[in-house]
Amino acid sequence: MSAPCISDLLFAIFVFYPLSCSSQTGLLPVVINTWPFTNATSAAWNTLVNKKGSVYDALVDGCSVCEIERCDGSVGPGGSPDENGETTLDAMVMNGQTFDVGAVGCLRRIPTAIAVARAVMDYTEQTLLVGELATQFAVEMGFKETNLSSDSSVTMWKDWKAKNCQPNYRTNVTPDPTKNCGPYKPKSVLESLQQTENRGKKGIGRRNHDSIGMVVIDEHGNITAGTTTNGLNHKIPGYITDDLKRVGDSPIMGAGAYAMNGVGGAVATGDGDVMMRFLPSFLAVSQMEAGVPPGIITKLTIQMIAKYYPKFSGALIAIDSKGTYGELKHCIMSIYRYLAVNSMGMGVDPTTATQSVMARITNYYLNFVGAVVAVTHDGEYGRFLAVSQMEAGVPPGIITKLTIQMIAKYYPKFSGALIAIDSKGTYGAACYGFPVFHYSVINPVLKTVTLKSVECLVN
């Protein structure tokens, strides 16, 4: 593994607060990324400003540096072996103007995951390719195969096997996964999962499991966001075939990263199996669209996750379309670092940011709100969420219509439907692209299963 990515041109920012956040107004263009991977930041900046490349060129060039340098052993080949000892890669790129996304999960034998993710975005109408078929696509696009394991990853895997496969991520199986390796079989009676368990005991941390997440905004306000990682040490291979393996939050749009021109972008890092359940990057961008400043929404989003998983580790960076950014990390990370460089060519110490606003924000996003069912004919376009807007007080019948309208604005020929129900049982539905949408419901008032219908919105 290479030495930490340190550059004399930029400097890392250390945050030591138990629960800390920051915000800073910046200028455009701007490049911001998680962790002190300054060579990646500098490479993206050089492509964007000096080479006059696009935001997508800049993001891929920056993240590719981390893949080559194997930053912290958590990015690129040579790290994070799964239970079988294999290293696989995840990556994602998102276009903030069109909402196009290219992503790969469990990419095998291809070391340049971020470039393959861009190829998915540029050369297909799909969003996420996974496993062996993602590798097949990469080879078709001209990428070269190679062994992603290293002496270090092989040694790491052998040491793990020698310690009875500890830690691992199996539950409700026999033999006892806390003491034994597999093969495993499911228990006949499921035990409750301990959501409050300290996942740090399993070794989840910066050098065990992390990623580089990056947002790039050019002088015209074009935004892209993306991530690349080699995932979690000793992750579980797939149960069906060897082509399937655990996929974390990095290649999942709205979880690892999200971008929207005119609004901003966000990237998340940390315990992806927990964070992806809350779509933190999407939530941050959607709330910035509603006018919430980046420094505030990062805190609110992390607080929401921490309520349900108080011992998780993770961090979130959000930046608006004007270059104002904020970050928040959860307290398990004793040190969280992020890098930003803008047209002033300087990093910004988050301890200089205003903290008084943060102190006045408490207990937001801490109550259960409701649930959403999305039914879409064009699955690639079902990327939007309604629960956060119900939390803000918007009735289900209104937010379903607004959400469908938002999708239709960018994809006027899509077809899909959305059902939302709040925590009191009030529900609503909206649809687009076909005449009528039918759904069924039962509650104490109706007493029997009742078919409902709603006329769809038209272009």
CB 395 within 8 A of CB 384: no
Give residue 246's pLDDT.
55
Give residue 331's pLDDT.
36
Distance between CA atoms of 216 and 307, rounded to whole angstroms? Answer: 31
Q: How far is residue 280 from each of residues 118, 302, 400, 432, measured CA to CA in Å?
A: 22, 8, 20, 26
Instruction: Tell me how far apart the 2 most distant CA atoms of the chain are, in Å.
Output: 69
**Does 277 belong to an annotated binding site?**
no
Give residue 35's pLDDT.
80
Bridge partners, 30 (sequence order): 217, 342
Burial of 181 (0-12, 13-18, 19+ CB in 10 A): middle
Predicted TM-score (pTM) of this structure = 0.73
Bridge partners, 336 (sequence order): 15
Q: Say which residue the tokens 């960018």 belong to.
A: 410
**Does 264 belong to an annotated binding site?**
no
Residue 441's φ and ψ, nearest 5 degrees, are -150, 150
Whether residue 167 has a cis bond before it, omega within 30° of 0: yes
- CATH fold, domain 20-148+204-359, is Glutamine Phosphoribosylpyrophosphate, subunit 1, domain 1 (3.60.20)
CB 405 within 8 A of CB 420: no
Bridge partners, 107 (sequence order): 89
Span(s) in the chain for CATH 3.60.20.30: 20-148+204-359, 370-455
Query: What is the separation of C-alpha 70 from the centre of its chain, rounded to a whole number of angstroms?
Result: 20
**Does 247 belong to an annotated binding site?**
yes
Query: What is the separation of C-alpha 166 from the centre of its chain, rounded to a whole number of angstroms?
Result: 26
Residue type, 141: M
Gyration radius (Cα) of the chain, Å? 22
Residue type, 186: P
Q: How far is residue 129 from each of residues 24, 60, 244, 377, measured CA to CA in Å?
A: 36, 18, 11, 19
Give residue 189's pLDDT.
79
Superfamily of segment(s) 370-455? (Glycosyl)asparaginase (3.60.20.30)
Residue type, 71: C
CB 326 within 8 A of CB 297: yes
**Does 246 belong to an annotated binding site?**
yes
Cβ-proximal residues to 155 (8 Å cutoff; 6+ apart), any chain: none
**Does 151 belong to an annotated binding site?**
no
Strands, E assignment, 220-313:
223-229, 257-260, 264-270
Q: What is the DSSP string of 146-209?
A: -----HHHHHHHHHHHHTTS-S----SEES-TTT--S--EE-SSPPPP-TTS-GGGGT-STTTS
**Does 79 belong to an annotated binding site?**
no
Distance between CA atoms of 204 and 221, rounded to whole angstroms? Answer: 36
Distance between CA atoms of 28 and 377, rounded to whole angstroms? Answer: 38
Whether residue 183 has a cis bond before it, omega within 30° of 0: yes
Give, in degrees to the nearest 5, the angle at Cα 11 between 6 and 15.
110
Cβ-proximal residues to 346 (8 Å cutoff; 6+ apart), any chain: none
Distance between CA atoms of 362 and 367, rounded to whole angstroms? Answer: 12
**Does 131 belong to an annotated binding site?**
no
Give residue 336's pLDDT.
41
Element (H, E) at 110: none
Q: How far is residue 247 from each of residues 88, 107, 335, 422, measured CA to CA in Å?
A: 10, 10, 26, 30
CB 327 within 8 A of CB 298: yes
CB 308 within 8 A of CB 258: no
What is the mean pLDDT of each successive set of 10 residues along the chain, which is 459 residues long?
A: 28 27 63 85 93 96 94 84 88 93 93 97 94 95 95 90 89 91 87 50 49 88 90 59 54 87 88 80 86 85 85 84 72 43 41 27 32 46 52 76 82 82 79 84 79 83
Give residue 107's pLDDT.
93
Query: By three-state DSSP, how is residue 375 classified?
Result: strand
Distance between CA atoms of 259 and 144, rounded to whole angstroms? Answer: 30
**Does 118 belong to an annotated binding site?**
no
Give residue 354's pLDDT.
23
